[in-house]
């Protein structure tokens, strides 16, 4: 019997638009109903908004890949994130997005797996040192540590320095405040009810964004000025690559403000999504002891007591599949909103120009018609051919098409290293009576944390 993690119980039937709005204020997961997990396409019509949810694999591919230019990214999420991310690749569309993507692609050479591995390893060792300071068997919110280690990794990858010191901690804490407020700004926009946004929330969001950008500017400005003055590069990292990037047509580099936009985007996307998934992976392993023991044995057999190497990561097949299955059950980005650039037809239904079309990995990856045991944690489903068709049609935690996540391979290597290092040294156990409550915000997090106890394995230093 496989472990089935708790998730918001869907309603028996579709709620009214007003009830749906108030249900979704806490989490958009609360607005779902039973047929959401089996339908091919659903629709909601609200004041000022027509919203279509597509689960049909052919429609998903049409929206995300085949006709991606006809379904640009919806401005709804961009509105909530604009104070922080500005005109970054996350929020732009069309020619502006293509120019940014073309300039940034070469920069991600610094995120190549072999190049990034020493950075990941150093941050993972720092995590283990922090955990070693905790009493053995102590109750711990693993979300805190997973957020810290992934933020440290992306910080080191961008800036070549660890996430330590007062300024780094202030960035970390300001990001947490910004992420907590963003959903309260986003939801009223989705429902065409912008007047329900509290000015207090807007003020706090902009204040957190200004603080983050100010701290990032403080880190970027000296290196930007040195680069402009023609001084030799102090580091070979993503920031340096961004500064060296040039527009293929004009030959122009990123300006300072645009550089800050892209760094802010990369820091947010680069740690928040991985932190969400790793937190849920720890929860799933704590509640599936048989899988955890197998993954522990795999880490011991492959790594022994030596430091992990980049070549080890492919050999840690079960650990990697644990993370893949976590991404299926708890995709960090649970929904992806697009906007119809023109009137069209979907499943014989007219879709007007400007309508919002949502592709929801949360629903597709638990779809009753695509997956066997859709709510069960079963990392073994990735072995052999049994799930090949399910994976082809219904697995998209990193999106698909032109806007597929640039950091997918980075995230998979990072997670495999962190989980193997953690499981080699510790046994994770669930806290009796504690059941995490998934909520859909910027990413899928737990409303009440993910509390575990960590027990040091015998024979580990």
The predicted-structure confidence for 336-373, as pLDDT tens digits, reads as follows: 989 999 999 999 999 999 999 999 999 999 999 999 99
Q: Are 111 and 157 in contact (CB under 8 A)?
A: yes
Kindly report, residue by residue over 7-60, the tens digit of the pLDDT. Answer: 888 777 665 555 555 555 556 777 787 898 999 999 888 776 788 999 999 999
Beta bridge partners of 44: 51
Helix or strand or coil: residue 90? Answer: coil
Q: Span 403-414, mean pLDDT?
A: 91
Q: Give how far the C-alpha of residue 217 lies from the chain's centroid of Cα atoms, to the nearest Å.
A: 24
Judged against a pLDDT cut of 90, whether residue 455 lies above it is answered with: yes
Read off the pLDDT of residues 68-122 as tens digits, 9 standing for 90 and up.
Answer: 999 999 887 777 788 888 889 888 999 999 999 999 887 776 566 778 899 999 9
Q: Specify the pLDDT at position 115.
A: 80
Rounded CA-CA distance 414/9 in Å is 32
- For tokens 């150093």, name the residue: 122
Predicted local distance difference test score (pLDDT) of residue 76? 73
Of the candidate ranges 180-189, 242-251, 268-277, 283-292, the one whose mean pLDDT is the lowest: 180-189
Which neighbouring-strand residues pair with 350?
345
pLDDT of residue 7: 87
Q: CA 303 to CA 310: how far, in whole Å?
A: 11
What is the 8-class DSSP label of residue 105?
A: T
Q: Is the pLDDT of residue 174 over 90?
A: no
Q: In whole numbers, what is the pLDDT of the chain averaged over residues?
A: 88
Best CA proximity match to 185, nearest among 90, 272, 78: 78
All structural domains of the chain with their residue ranges: 17-456
Render pLDDT for 288-347 as a digit per residue (tens, 0 to 9). Answer: 999 999 999 999 999 999 999 999 999 999 999 999 999 999 999 999 989 999 999 999
Q: Are 261 and 85 in contact (CB under 8 A)?
A: yes
Length of the chain: 461
What value does the mean pLDDT take over residues 223-249?
A: 92
Provide, rounded to the nearest whole percent, the portion of the chain with pLDDT above 90.
Answer: 59
Of the pLDDT bands very low, low, confident and very high (cuts 50, 70, 90), residue 163 is confident
Buried b (16+ CB within 10 A) or exposed e, 316-332: bebbbbbbbbbbbbbbb
pLDDT of 243 > 90? The answer is yes
More confident residue, 448 or 179: 448
pLDDT at 277 over 70: yes
- Arithmetic mean of pLDDT, 252-269: 91
Q: What are phi and psi of 73, to 5 degrees?
A: -60, 135
pLDDT band at 150 (very low <50, low <70, confident <90, very high): very high
pLDDT of residue 280: 98
Residue 67: count of CB within 10 angstroms of its CB: 14
DSSP codes joined into one string, 15-35: PPHHHHHHHHTT-GGGG-BGG
| 17-456 classified as CATH 1.10.630.10 | yes
Write out the two tokens for 360. Answer: 């929801």
**Side-chain half-sphere exposure of 202, counting CA atoms within 13 A:** 9
Q: Is residue 441 very low, low, confident or very high in pLDDT (cuts 50, 70, 90)? A: confident
Q: Does the structure show a pLDDT above 60 at 167? A: yes
Q: Does position 256 have pLDDT exceeding 90, yes or no?
A: yes
User: pLDDT per residue over 138-148, tens digit each?
Assistant: 999 999 899 89
Q: What is the pLDDT of residue 22?
A: 53
Predicted model pTM: 0.92
Residue bearing tokens 């050479």? 109
């Amino acid at each position: 019997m496989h472990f089935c993690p708790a998730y918001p119980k869907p309603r028996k039937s579709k709620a009214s638009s007003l009830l749906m709005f108030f249900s979704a204020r806490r989490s958009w997961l609360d607005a779902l109903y039973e047929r959401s997990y089996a339908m091919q396409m659903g629709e909601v019509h609200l004041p000022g908004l027509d919203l279509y949810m597509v689960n049909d694999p052919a429609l998903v591919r049409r929206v995300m890949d085949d006709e991606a230019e006809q379904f640009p990214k919806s401005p709804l999420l961009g509105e909530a994130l604009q104070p922080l991310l500005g005109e970054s690749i996350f929020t732009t569309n069309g020619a502006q997005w293509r120019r940014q993507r073309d300039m940034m692609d070469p920069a991600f050479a610094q995120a190549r797996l072999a190049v990034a591995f020493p950075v990941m390893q150093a941050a993972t060792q720092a995590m283990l040192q922090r955990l070693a300071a905790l009493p053995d068997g102590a109750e711990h919110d693993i979300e805190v540590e997973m957020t810290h280690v992934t933020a440290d990794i992306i910080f080191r990858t961008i800036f070549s320095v660890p996430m330590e010191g007062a300024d780094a901690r202030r960035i970390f804490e300001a990001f947490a405040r910004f992420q907590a407020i963003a959903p309260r700004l986003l939801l009223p926009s989705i429902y065409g009810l912008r007047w329900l946004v509290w000015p207090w929330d807007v003020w706090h969001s902009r204040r957190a964004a200004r603080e983050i950008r100010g701290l990032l500017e403080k880190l970027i400005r000296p290196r930007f000025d040195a680069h402009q003055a023609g001084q030799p590069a102090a580091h070979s990292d993503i920031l340096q690559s961004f500064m060296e990037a040039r527009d293929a047509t004009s030959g122009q580099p990123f300006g300072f403000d645009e550089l800050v936009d892209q760094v802010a985007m990369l820091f947010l996307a680069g740690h928040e999504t991985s932190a969400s998934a790793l937190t849920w992976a720890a929860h799933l392993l704590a509640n599936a002891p048989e899988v955890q023991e197998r993954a522990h044995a795999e880490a011991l057999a492959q790594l022994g007591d030596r430091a992990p190497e980049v070549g080890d990561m492919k050999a840690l097949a079960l650990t990697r599949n644990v993370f893949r299955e976590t991404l299926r059950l708890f995709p960090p980005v649970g929904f992806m909103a697009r906007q119809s650039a023109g009137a069209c037809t979907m499943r014989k239904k007219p879709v007007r120009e400007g309508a919002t079309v949502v592709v929801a990995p949360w629903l597709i990856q638990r779809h009753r018609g695509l997956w066997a045991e859709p709510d069960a944690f079963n990392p073994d489903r990735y072995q052999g051919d049994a799930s090949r068709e399910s994976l082809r049609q219904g697995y998209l935690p990193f999106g698909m098409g032109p806007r597929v996540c640039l950091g997918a391979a980075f995230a998979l290597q990072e997670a495999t290293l962190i989980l193997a290092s953690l499981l080699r040294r510790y046994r994770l156990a669930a806290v009796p009576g504690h059941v995490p409550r998934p909520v859909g915000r910027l990413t899928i997090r737990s409303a009440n944390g993910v509390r575990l106890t960590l027990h040091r394995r015998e024979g580990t230093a």
